[in-house]
Amino acid sequence: MEYFAHETAVIDADCSIGKGTKIWHFSHIMSNCIIGENCNLGQNVVISPEVVLGNNVKVQNNVSIYTGVFCEDDVFLGPSMVFTNVINPRSAVNRKNEYQKTTVKKGATIGANATIVCGNVIGEFAFIGAGAVVTKEVLPYALVVGNPSKQIGWVSEFGHKLEFDTDGFATCRESNEKYQLKNNQVFKL
């Protein structure tokens, strides 16, 4: 076994778990899911069947990732954030054949207690603020907050708010990487 699982974790058969991944207390990894290398799954995490997590995904405590969710590499899922997978759930109506896909692209961050309504794409390096309720697609590098979520700016790959000059250029204060804003899209130069 090339990954670590706490003795209280439950790992069902037919899972693929990458080298260097850590699975902590009281987590449940269900059948037919794929977890990449060097992931960290905190306490009380549930990974449902057929979920795919890329490499270096960080899942904080009390997060359930339901069937239909795909997270690319380097995604951060904050404590107690929520994914949904059915638009109109009812206890008495079986809608397992209606799961909608949700994709979280490379490097995106979803803050604590945020909710991601199913069927949406969270763009590369997007930053979803704590408690936000995402009901539609989020652009790459977008900073969104609130309920329902609203874009209030752009962030760098290091997660800092970008301040664009009149020519549409900005520099990350931590990495000194340059970005351009053109036609409501951000590009790293």
Task: Name the token pair of 39.
Answer: 């992931």
The predicted structure's pLDDT at residue 96: 85
Q: Which residue has the tokens 């260097």?
A: 20
Local structure of residue 54 (DSSP, 8 states):
-
**Strand (E) or helix (H) holding 154:** strand 150-154
* Strand pairing class (34-35; 16-17): parallel
Task: Give the CATH superfamily of 4-86+99-160.
Answer: Hexapeptide repeat proteins (2.160.10.10)
The predicted structure's pLDDT at residue 43: 97
Cross-strand bridge partners of residue 122: 104, 138
For the chain, the average pLDDT equals 96
Task: Name the token pair of 47.
Answer: 């990974």
- 114 touches 134 (CB < 8 A): yes
Phi, psi for residue 103 in degrees, rounded to 5? -120, 130
The predicted structure's pLDDT at residue 98: 87
DSSP string spanning 113-166? Answer: T-EE-SS-EEPTT-EEPTT-EE-S-B-TTEEEETTTTEEEEEB-TTSPBP---T
Task: Name the token pair of 167.
Answer: 């020519």
* pLDDT 10s digits, 58-98: 999 999 999 999 999 999 999 999 999 988 999 999 988 88
Identify the segments of the chain with pLDDT beneath 50. none
The predicted structure's pLDDT at residue 7: 96
